Structure 1
Amino acid sequence: MEHNELDSIDLQLLNALQRDASISNVALAERVNVSPPTCLRRVKRLTEGGWIERQVAVLSADRLSQSLGHGLTALVEVSLDRQGSEHLDAFEARAVAHDAVQQCWRVSPGPDFMLVVQAHDMPHYLAISQTLFTQDANVRNVKAFFATKRAKFTTTWPLLKPPAA
């Protein structure tokens, strides 16, 4: 098989791992109907091939906000005055380096960037906005939307076709 091709077993492995990466190799092999050594070899190949970027723990936002006060999520549109690649790269580098920025997307059309920012509270968000937006002479417009409820959050990609009805 070509190194950058995925077969149905690879897709099943990726689908299972993106839902629960803590599953044992034996349980994973059983789930996709391959032997444990084959499963281990395939997962290693998927990891080395870049299909599996990293394995992380997804933390509970509700529990963290109760304990630490991480109670403010902002979805922020950022438009720059100058959109040359060096200007876009410079803003992007500053945004991704900031710990409060969970996600940074270059988008088109409309604003140049969409950020997901996690702050303890409004004063913390104000400090973040001063650092990222106010001090940058190239930031033309910032529009922040504050989340009132997280209705869905997932890290999964739809990899498998749904069963026929």
Structure 2
Amino acid sequence: MPAEDLDRTDRLILAQLQRDGRISNQELAQRVALSPSPCLRRVKRLEEQGYIRRYVALADPDKLGLGLLAYVFVRLDKSHRAEHGSISGFAQDVQGWPEVIQCYAMSGDMDYLLRVQVRDLAAFSRFAMDVLMRHPAVIDIRSSFALQSIKETTELPVQP
């Protein structure tokens, strides 16, 4: 079902669940002006159709001692693609690196953008030197460090 097929109530449900995934069905139904049964049916349908991918708890990186956030652009050796048929090996390897919390294939002069969360600069240095730069496909990395969080949200703009 394309996003255009979502009605106002579906969008309200999604907006509320993005703010609080642990909200009770009773409370959700009240907030979107439905009775509980139709509200639950709509939530189940949104889950089944993939609009709701999963429910998670968002951990605080500072409380976990992971106070350094780095954004790392990665450029791969294009000849590595010719030798091995693709550069997807890098994308597969990223899945096993717990420091990488997001990875995007990019357009432009760099191939990937990594969001890396680690304890401190020493931990980042170890990751960069011992993992990234030792990967056979990586030829260049460029890193920037977050100094301050200005806006951080997981909510997509689905308001009706």
Give the TM-score taking structure 2 as reference length: 0.88
Task: Report the AA paired with residue 61 of structure 1.
Answer: P
1:11 is the counterpart of 2:11:
yes
1:74 is the counterpart of 2:64:
no
Structure 1 residue 130, shift from structure 2 partner: 3.0
Does the 8 Å CA contact 1:95/1:132 hold for their aligned counterparts? no
Question: Which string of whole-angstrom CA distances, capped at 9 and with x for unpartnered residues, describes residues 98-123 of structure 1?
Answer: 11111001111231100000111122
Give the TM-score taking structure 1 as reference length: 0.86
The number of residue pairs the alignment matches comes to 156
- RMSD, matched Cα: 2.0
Give the secondary structure class of the aligned counterpart of 1:22.
coil
Does the 8 Å CA contact 1:94/1:132 hold for their aligned counterparts? no
Task: Report the AA paired with residue 143 of structure 1.
Answer: R
Aligned to 1:157: 156
Aligned to 1:136: 135
> Any unmatched runs of 5+ in structure 1?
none
Structure 2 CA distance for partners of 1:16 and 1:154, relative to 1, 3 Å: same
Aligned to 2:58: 58
Question: Which string of whole-angstrom CA distances, capped at 9 and with x for unpartnered residues, describes residues 47-101 of structure 1?
Answer: 1111111111112234x1xxx4212111000011118495431111111221111
Instruction: State the alpha-carbon separation in 2 of the partners of residues 96 and 149 from structure 1.
Output: 27
Q: Highest relative contact order (Cα 8 Å, sep 6+), 1 or 2?
A: 2
Moved beyond 6 Å, runs of 4+: none
Task: Report the AA paired with residue 27 of structure 1.
Answer: E
1:40 is the counterpart of 2:40:
yes
Instruction: State the alpha-carbon separation in 2 of the partners of residues 106 and 58 from structure 1.
Output: 24
Q: 79-88 vs 142-151, which deviates more?
A: 79-88
Task: Report the AA paired with residue 78 of structure 1.
Answer: V
Q: 46-55 vs 84-93, which deviates more?
A: 84-93
Does the 8 Å CA contact 2:67/2:118 hold for their aligned counterparts? yes
Does the 8 Å CA contact 2:133/2:140 hold for their aligned counterparts? no
Give the secondary structure class of the aligned counterpart of 1:97.
coil
Give the secondary structure class of the aligned counterpart of 2:95.
helix
